[in-house]
Homo-oligomer: A and B are copies of this chain.
């Protein structure tokens, strides 16, 4: 990445493109867009060195609204396209914007491979638990039994927990937050940007049109305190109106929720190398949102695909000059005439 230059003096408005934002009024996507535009100046990068690549979906319109480079690609393929860019252009900060259908339905394979490769990509997964753009079919994160246009008798598929899937796919950075929690969103974006490698950030995003209120229980005062479990690196994991609940180790090698207990409480360590910890954390979140863990679950270092790919090119170049003539001649030639 280019060196950080906080002297650029860019303002959030500098990151607004001239395109009219076309999401439905009240769409959670607006909040994320604003948070992103407010956050980017703090990165200290020039606008031209930032690229947003999206798939298809409401959320995937994101790049049009950013005054950076951007590509609105095809459904599900953004991680693959972004990989080619990230590998060849270490000077760029490459962001992927995707939806729950885009990333987890048609694009599931590219996502898990990008994560295991640990390509330098920041992947923002806007999870509204519905297909917005195509007007309201269920998605791979929709709760079982969901009534939608394509499932008038209720959906049958057990949903993915995107973070469990990502951790199972060897991800080095995974986080979750809510569209309405600007502070946490910003801090997670910062951490993701700082992480060298793939960062998956799941953002629960309200779609007021096709899945309105999907996350209301995580936003309503009185409810949210009982349900939201924010984790902070180095802090014991406590929650509840009076921080009376906590995440505790259980005796089956997993984690569980119980009354706060100083001896059993888990102190969050996002750098835990063994992904079993972050995975266990991810299982505390349930389909019905009885509990939802937010924050950076996992943030560990591992060599990135793109750094290594470039290192191989450097090593090869150092070892052997790029002598085209000799390549074409090979070892065994003969002369005619």
Contacts and interface: CB of A to CB of B under 8 A. Distances in A.
Interface of A: 105-109, 112-113, 116-118, 140, 153-154, 156-161, 164-170, 249, 251-255, 266, 269, 272, 274-277, 279-281, 283, 302-303, 305, 308-309, 312, 315-316
Contact of A279 (B118, B157, B158, B276): B276
A63 B10 CA distance: 62
Contact of A158 (B116, B164, B316): B116
Contacts of A158: 116-118, 170, 302
A76 to B, nearest CB: 9
9 contacts: A108-B112, A112-B160, A153-B312, A156-B309, A156-B312, A161-B170, A252-B272, A253-B255, A255-B276
Contact of A116 (B153, B159, B169, B274): B159
Task: Quickly give the copy total for this chain.
Answer: 2
A302 B160 CA distance: 14
A109, A266, A276: residue with the most chain B Cβ atoms closer than 10 Å: A276
Given A168-B167, A168-B279, A266-B253, A157 B109 contact: no
Given A277-B252, A280-B276, A165 B156 contact: no
Contacts of A165: 112, 168-169
A105 B116 CA distance: 12
B283 A157 contact: no
B112 A156 contact: no
Nearest to A304: B156
Nearest to A316: B153
A272 B108 CA distance: 27
Contacts of A154: 312
A140 B160 contact: no
A154, A279, A303: residue with the most chain B Cβ atoms closer than 10 Å: A279
A138 to B, nearest CB: 12
